[in-house]
Amino acid sequence: MSIDKQDVQKIAHLARLGLSDQDAEQYHHAISSVLDLVEQMQSVNTDGIEPLSNPHEATQRLREDIVTESDRREAFLKNAPQTEAGLFLVPKVID
Amino acid sequence: MNWEVVIGLEIHAQLSTKSKLFSGAATSFGAEPNTNTTLVDLGMPGALPVFNKEALRMAVMFGHAVNAEIGMKSVFARKNYFYPDLPKGYQTSQMDDPIVGKGYLDIPMEDGSVKRVGITRAHLEEDAGKSLHEDFHGMTGIDLNRSSTPLLEIVSEPDIRSAKEAVAYVKMIHSIVTYLGICDGNMAEGSMRCDVNLSLRPKGQQEFGTRTEIKNVNSFRFIEKAILCEIERQADILEDGGKIVQETRLYDPDKDETRSMRTKEDANDYRYFPCPDLLPVVIDQEYVDAIKASLPELPSQKAARFQEAYQLSEYDAGVLSASRAMADYFETVAATCNNAKVSANWVMGELSKLLNQSNLDITDSPVSATALGELLVRIEDNTINGKTAKSVLQAMWDGEGSADEIISAKGLKQVTDTGAIETMIQGIIDANAAQVEQYRAADEDKRKKMIGFFMGQVMKASQGKANPGVVTPILTKLLNG
Amino acid sequence: MTTQSIAELSQQLANKEVSSVELTKDYLARIKQHDGALNSYITVTEEIALAQAEYADKLIQQGNTSPLTGIPVAHKDLFCTDGVLTTCASKMLHNFVPPYESTVTQRIKSAGAVMLGKTNMDEFAMGSSNENSHFGAVKNPWDLTKVPGGSSGGSAAAVAANLCVAATGTDTGGSIRQPASFCGITGLKPTYGRVSRFGMIAYASSLDQAGPMARSAQDCAYLLQAIAGFDHNDSTCSEVATEDYLAGLDQPLNGLRIGLPKEYFGEGLQEGVAVAIQNAVKEFEKLGATVVDISLPNLQLSIPSYYVIAPSEASSNLSRFDGVRYGYRCEDPKDLMDMYKRSRAEGFGKEVQKRIMVGTYALSEGYYDAYYLKAQRIRRLIKEDFVNALKQVDVIMGPVAPTTAFGLGAKTDDPVAMYLEDIYTLSVNLAGIPAMSIPVGFADNMPVGLQIMGNYFAEAKLLNVAHQYQLATDWHQQTPNLAEGA
């Protein structure tokens, strides 16, 4: 499976990375070589083998339904680029 | 052409847990912006989710209530997309292995038929925050209080064929989740939100037409109206030989129309994959069975019991069991006054009338179920008659006190003292000698009609307090001489 | 200043031969003197260190101590530290001051250790050379023209240069072991789930694991003892009980069965490295161990499997860096999309962006099965290789990396060549087993690390094996000659 430069722009858009044409060219090369590297997987027969997403195949632990946290808004907002009235501000969202 | 409408619904029910799906923040509605948030809800670097036990239990309860397969191993997956009120850049949801699998609901329709709607699945997911578009110097404010609040997304099969069926289905789901106590059902506050998938096809055709999705329709009435106008819109296009564009639309209740949400320049690709910060949720049969055993009575079960135990009609039983609050209210009234039929009539009649006039829910009734029951006891024991009781209820509604207090304060107690009544009736007979003559000369049939005149006189004289049950035999005896 | 073990320093502190404040001041002075050349620290927390040292001295006065009380340590700059800049070596987090403390750093703090600062690393732990840092490359203390390895290169270099007694690192595909090997120190990647990931800024959640980096196995044991164990904040953290990692160190190695996988000694292995490894194995035989030839047939597949799984998880994990709640936001965004795209393109370095895009592609519609699911199936094959091998042997040994530290800039033009160098370390993370790197000699004057891999939760065994070797040899006590002002 290979990708072209347009694919790179499409992926970059999905990942919200703004690439110039020149960037896209460079990344096209870099991503293609990674994809070539992983291509060797395709020759392995994995029929009937279950995907392994966690090394221990452990199961989820459950948390009691208790409110354990109190308001720390001030501390949490400190790192934000822009805030007002306790809200995080972003450029206008148009629905 | 004759079009058949095909509807499938996605309902998001906010689960009534105390804390969030993946964090220990409170879930309460209406808090100051961003005060009900934790590291997890804000998607802080390094923060990790831990799954709320109660949300799992609630989802399994719902599964049982819709006759569904329970997912013994369910898996949280990440749905990746960027939006400012989605702090992690993905929503933790369930994809391939939901907690609730296939099920169905049988819905009694007005015409006496029963509509079966298939449930495709119901899965747990976290809610996003809110974007506030008021003017912050042309910017948008983000409040993440709602972020990570637990939702159960209930997906129906495309089995629904009319707006009426859709509303009946949503009402049934609403009734189930509130009965189970897993959702407060408050649609105005967004605790239950509904997306409608709708397409048309020529009657008789097997395959589905192109569908649109109407997002976030948040009341029973709007669901019906949104569906009706979307049916009309699609039919108009199809009649003109046009094509339906698959898209997301919004219902505007002010203009009573649906309109396209700005189509995104690209199709979404959510890149679902199992969330590596959470492990598969594995439950055993014992757990599932224990929850089944602990289920409260469901609306359909309750209606059946009301018919059986209280000898109510199917209609009355249906009305009284529609909401858990209504059913609980009715049963308290009935238990207090010991007469289910009278209780049913008063709850559905006078009380409902007063509630409707004030636009109040039964949970907000100023007259408690016990208080109403005590009033009905006074009809049963002949302290007052039904007509007086209506005025007493109004006084109770207005906060003038309990039934007994009002009856006593206003002197409304019926006169049941036979001696006093006899004296009063004798006085009326003496004062109306001509009518008495006529009465005595009349035959049996005429007498029955004429006795009403004397009854009226007695009531007038007693200011309505004479007990008709006591008056009638005495009056008949004295008239007959 | 000569290097001393945690045990020795702890004894001297207890005997009041030295105070924690004095010790801390010595280390701060060494950092001032040498770190200009090494660049191993992103942030030096002098004030905090001195305050903690003073407090530690009080605890020592009261006799209320743990083995780490008063010991100066450093943390990789991806552990969130409350009120202390935590950058992940990224422009994206150049100004991020966490409002909370990670479990790892909290536990070390609670044990009374002194935090000297936050160490340099590859941006978001993506890299094997520490050249992918917004704050500049770290230099190898053994040769300033060489890389220290990565991604925990700052921690490795700081320990090797004695700019801290011990440090924390994280290992997603070799990021503790490879820099430990390149810098001639001891590093342990614990079993997945042995140490909490809470407060550790994620690269690839199902592979990331924090661990100790120090001069010796014994020092690593002290650190592991403090950080290992259940944490209710991390759903993937194991409830398996921890062991006494120090008590087991003295076990003799008689009868120890060592597996040598033939795949670890094939083409591409630098000769000097091979020799050092063989010598180390001979030393173990002298200590009573026996050697068994084994095979891990799917080793080669760990590279493609890892380079699909890790970027896939990373592409999602790094979506939260969007310029809304913390971190870098571009100047004057013209709209929301512009804010996202420029903040992320300007805030992330090239390697990070590349991995995000690879992962985005691998998860996207139509490719998910062929990439992500395929890689997860292969992951199971790799795990089964280890499970089967560890039925025959107690530990598996081999090199950590095919070569010693390479020159700065030598591989920056060919990242894929650098990926291939991870061949001996990636499979351990995919399987989730624990593994160590210990110094076992030199090749061309650069340190060589031996990798010791063990069964799930067998950290005590690994530390025991490493410690016995270190009792018999002194490779771990070799230190680089740092020039004045360098």
| CA angle at C82 for the pair C76 and C86, rounded to the nearest 5° | 40
Cβ atoms of residues B451 and B402 within 8 Å: no
Q: How far apart are CA B321 and CA B108, in angstroms?
A: 13
- Beta-strand ranges (E) seen in B179-332 are 192-202, 212-217, 248-252, 257-260, 273-274, 281-282
Tell me, yes or no, whether C473 lies in a domain: yes
Q: How far apart are CA A94 and CA C473, in angstroms?
A: 67
Subunit contact B276:A71, Cβ cutoff 8 A: no
Residue B431: per-residue pLDDT: 87
For B127-152, what is each residue's pLDDT tens digit?
999 999 877 888 999 999 999 999 99
Name the residue facing A61 among C235, C354, C360 (closest C-beta). C235
Subunit contact C361:A11, Cβ cutoff 8 A: yes
Domain locations along chain A: 5-43
Tell me, yes or no, whether C329 lies in a domain: no
Which CATH number is B418-480 given? 1.10.10.410
Residue of B nearest to C81 (CA): B46
Closest CA to B159 of B2, B4, B7: B7
pTM as predicted: 0.90
CATH code for position C97: 3.90.1300.10
Please count the structural domains in chain C. Answer: 1
Look-up of token digits 């959470």: B278
Q: A64 contacts in B (CB within 8 Å)? A: 53
Q: How far apart are CA C131 and CA C122, in angstroms?
A: 6
Cβ-in-10-Å burial (0-12, 13-18, 19+) of B430 comes to exposed
Cβ atoms of residues B59 and B99 within 8 Å: yes
Residue C415: per-residue pLDDT: 82
We find that the CATH architecture of domain A5-43 is Orthogonal Bundle (1.10)
Closest CA to C148 of C351, C408, C399, C352: C408
Q: Please give chain B's pLDDT, 481 residues, in tens.
A: 789 999 999 999 999 999 999 999 999 878 999 999 999 999 999 999 999 999 999 999 999 999 999 999 999 999 999 999 999 999 999 999 999 999 999 988 878 788 999 999 999 999 999 999 877 888 999 999 999 999 999 999 999 999 999 999 999 999 999 999 999 999 988 999 999 999 999 999 999 999 999 999 989 999 999 999 999 999 999 999 999 999 999 999 999 999 998 655 456 899 999 999 999 999 999 999 999 999 999 988 998 999 999 999 888 888 899 888 899 999 999 999 999 999 999 999 999 999 999 999 898 999 999 999 999 999 988 888 888 899 999 999 999 999 999 998 888 887 777 788 888 888 888 888 888 888 888 888 888 888 888 888 888 888 777 877 788 888 888 888 7
Cβ-in-10-Å burial (0-12, 13-18, 19+) of A29 comes to exposed
Residue of B nearest to C323 (CA): B84
- Beta-strand ranges (E) seen in C382-456 are 395-399, 435-443, 446-454
Subunit contact B46:C80, Cβ cutoff 8 A: yes
Name the residue facing C340 among B47, B82, B87 (closest C-beta). B82
For B337-389, what is each residue's pLDDT tens digit?
999 999 999 999 999 999 999 999 898 999 999 999 999 999 988 888 888 89
Residue B457: per-residue pLDDT: 86
Q: How far apart are CA B189 and CA B127, in angstroms?
A: 14
Domain residue limits at C69:
6-254+436-450+458-477
Residues of C assigned a catalytic role = 76, 151, 175
- Helix, strand counts (H, E) of chain C: 15, 11
Q: How far apart are CA C11 and CA C17, in angstroms?
A: 9
ipTM above 0.90, yes or no: yes
Encoded tokens for C451: 């990798």
**Shortest Cα distance from A33 to chain B (angstroms)?**
22
Q: What are phi and psi of B346, to 5 degrees?
A: -70, -40
Residue C1: per-residue pLDDT: 60
For A3-42, what is each residue's pLDDT tens digit?
999 999 999 999 999 999 999 999 999 999 999 999 999 9
- Beta-strand ranges (E) seen in C354-476 are 395-399, 435-443, 446-454
Q: Give the dihedral of Cα atoms C7, C12, C18, C20; nearest 10 deg.
A: 40
Residue C486: per-residue pLDDT: 43
Encoded tokens for C187: 């590093």
Residue B426: per-residue pLDDT: 87
What does the DSSP 8-state code read for residue C137? P
Give start and end residues of each alpha helix (H) in B240-361.
285-293, 299-310, 314-321, 324-337, 340-346, 352-358
Domain locations along chain B: 3-290, 297-409, 418-480
For B171-203, what is each residue's pLDDT tens digit?
999 999 999 999 999 998 899 999 999 999 999
Which residues of chain C fall below pLDDT 70? 1, 484-486
Cβ-in-10-Å burial (0-12, 13-18, 19+) of C437 comes to buried
Name the residue facing C324 among B51, B84, B273 (closest C-beta). B84
Residue B266: per-residue pLDDT: 53
Closest CA to B65 of B283, B289, B292: B292
Residue C485: per-residue pLDDT: 44
Cβ atoms of residues B74 and B281 within 8 Å: yes
